Amino acid sequence: MTWEIALIFVLLAATLVSFVREKISPDLTALTLFVAIIATGLLEPNKAFSVFSNPAPLTVGAMFILSAALVRCGAIEHLSGFVEKSARWSYPVVMFLLVMIVATVSAFINNTPVVVVFLPVVLGLARRMNLAPSKLLIPLSYAAVLGGTCTLIGTSTNLVVNGIIISKGLPAFSMFELAWLGVPTTIIGAVYLALCGKRLLPTREMLTSILTDEERREYITEAFVQPDSPALGKTLAEAGLSRSRGIRLIEIVRDGVALYIEPEKIRLKAGDRIILACRPQGIAATRGVVGIDLISELKLGLEQIAAHEGSLVEAVVNPHSTIVGHTVREINFRQRFRMVVLAVHRKGRNVRERLETLPLEAGDIVLMMGTDQAIDALRQSEDLVLFDRARVPATSQNKKMPIVLGVIAGVVTCATFNWVPIEVGALIGCVIVCLTGCLKTNEAYASIEWNILFLIYGMLAAGLALEQTGAALWLADHVLTGVQAVVPPEHKALFVLGALYLVTTILTEILSNNAVAALMTPIALGIAAQLGVSHLPFVIALMFAASAAFATPIGYQTNTYVYGVGGYRFTDFLKIGIPLNLLCFTAAMIIVPIIWPF
């Protein structure tokens, strides 16, 4: 082992630890690795920067744009209407149809927007079927993942691996080559979820379950501090307005400016306007405080902000939202959305204290209270997706639907018949949807998940370093030496194929699927070269295993997305996901050697 091989293994180990600990974002971890590889001399700068010529990230970005155009034109909503009408059928039938419909859509556009659009539909379906949403949400995510394995453009993982093999001078995959494995496993997954889903999936409550019946009946109201009030100079608690009396402070407005000091430290002044969320007895308590009067009962000519019964709604933070990474205080949440944040659910835990200083993340579930008018306005927002029913766009884009569908069909057709490379076709499609007004240019840029692209670039450099230092061949040689000692020669290739699949699946369950694909592809190519067999079965198995991650909520972005919405626990994914992982593994070990022989 050379020092270069040892060093790249040390850097990769540190990278994997960073991915798991999540102290810094995965894309920043990947870029740090990229810089470290150059700084330590493992790759010359010009060699390292050659990864930016890889077409895979460019194609992934283009597919994000085309996916956004398809969502905006309303095509998916038309299809989701059929799902809503299936509530009268039995659970197995509904489940099978749901998986197959979502998988079909997900085979051609990015998985995450599919789940985002179908989320309110599935929640409504659960209500009509009198089921807990947790009986349907994990299958929604699994369906999107399975559908992505059926085509070359179904998931970014496939495009990353395809880009790497092209850079090695190997033939690219055709559009539907992966369908030989993806379609059978999708059907197997649909049958499994239809027959076992209701029994294996838990009954979990959503975020509103953390509130008592009394807390669900809060009212948004506003009080005014009189000039002669005895409460002047006192805190709210000292004045008698405390949470123990059924009163929740939302905001204090002083001289037209909202104060963001910690509520318990604010000293009241004459003219302060106090926005409160009160339970019924809290309104009575507020009336009883001398010198602090409800604006609804005053005749001072003040415009009342709100004095209506507050409705509770839940929403998920969109991955493309502009509020990601910002706190409730920084984005001025109440003024921006006219809603009050009561709690946030993130990765299995509920947060109800110090919400103003909590940076919001994609996939966070936000429990809010507001008036009906504010909730209706929020439906047009692209930052938050309400759970009660699908988003209502401000303007209809249905007239653009034929253009978007035609563009995507053209991209698929051109790639299928090898008329133009997939990256060229996808870019042409992006230009067309922007020129025809299906998407504005700023909307197209905003739809790209740039963090994923930079994660891919960083891990492509890591894969290149594995190859250039000889680490990939060194690892492949030692794996084969160990296998040769315990496995008969005639079964060696199949055994190594199974081992590669399992290692890839395990890594994908805890790391980014794109990172795993970029790291494992050079190793898979090295194993095929050492065995003297075709690279296709190993690369195909790798592509599939890097997507088919079902056993943890962190293995795939859509799993993480439904994790909080359904109120799931980590073990819920293990219970239903491990059997599906084993089914996919068995199917792959049977189908791959037949369709892509060694």
Q: What is the CATH number of domain 219-308?
A: 3.30.70.1450
Give the number of other Cβ atoms within 10 Å of residue 424's Cβ: 17
Q: Residue 492 in contact with residue 480, Cβ under 8 Å? A: yes
Residue 325: which region, alpha, beta or left (left: phi > 0; alpha: psi -120 to 50)? left
Q: Residue 397 in contact with residue 73, Cβ under 8 Å? A: yes
Q: What pLDDT is stored for residue 118 in this prediction?
A: 84
Hey, is 472 helix, strand or coil?
helix
What tens digit of pLDDT does each residue of 309-361 get?
456 777 888 877 788 888 887 888 877 887 877 777 776 566 666 677 788 88
Q: Is it true that 219-308 and 311-386 share their CATH fold?
A: yes
Q: What pLDDT is stored for residue 543 in this prediction?
A: 92
Q: Which residues of the chain have pLDDT under 50?
A: 213-214, 216, 296-309, 392, 394-396
What are residue 222's DSSP bridge partners? 275
Q: What pLDDT is stored for residue 188 in this prediction?
A: 96
C-alpha–C-alpha distance, residues 413 and 175, integer Å: 9
Q: What pLDDT is stored for residue 377 in this prediction?
A: 81
What are residue 368's DSSP bridge partners? 313, 341
Domain definitions of the chain by residue range = 3-205+406-573+581-595, 219-308, 311-386
Q: What pLDDT is stored for residue 391 in this prediction?
A: 52
Written as six digits, the tokens of 67 are 């996916």
Nearby residues of 223 by Cβ (< 8 Å), 6 or more positions away: 273, 274, 276, 286, 292, 293, 294, 295
Determine phi and psi for 370, rounding to 5 degrees: -170, 175
Written as six digits, the tokens of 208 are 């509103």
Place of tokens 């001398």: 290
Hey, is 252 helix, strand or coil?
strand
Q: What pLDDT is stored for residue 241 in this prediction?
A: 66
Q: Is 410 exposed, middle or buried (0-12, 13-18, 19+ CB in 10 A)?
A: middle
Q: What pLDDT is stored for residue 570 in this prediction?
A: 83
What are residue 367's DSSP bridge partners? 314, 343
DSSP 8-state class, residue 327: B
Shortest CA distance to 122 belongs to which of 135, 136, 103? 136
Q: Residue 571 in contact with residue 201, Cβ under 8 Å? A: no
Distances (CA, A) of 291 to 40, 187, 288, 308, 353: 69, 68, 9, 22, 29
311-386 fold: Alpha-Beta Plaits (3.30.70)
Nearby residues of 198 by Cβ (< 8 Å), 6 or more positions away: 91, 92, 95, 135
Determine phi and psi for 482, rounding to 5 degrees: -65, -40
Q: Residue 144 in contact with residue 101, Cβ under 8 Å? A: no
Q: What b/e readout covers 548-576, taking b as 16+ CB neighbours within 10 angstroms? A: bbbbbbbbbbbbbbbbbbbbbeeebbbeb
What are residue 359's DSSP bridge partners? 327
Strands in 305-407 per DSSP E: 308-309, 311-317, 340-346, 349-351, 365-370, 384-386
Q: Residue 146 in contact with residue 556, Cβ under 8 Å? A: no
Task: State the amino acid at position 108 in one-letter form.
Answer: F
- Indicate the angle between helix axes 179-200 and 536-545, nearest 10 degrees: 30
Determine phi and psi for 32, rounding to 5 degrees: -65, -40
C-alpha–C-alpha distance, residues 230 and 211, integer Å: 34
Q: What pLDDT is stored for residue 181 in this prediction?
A: 95
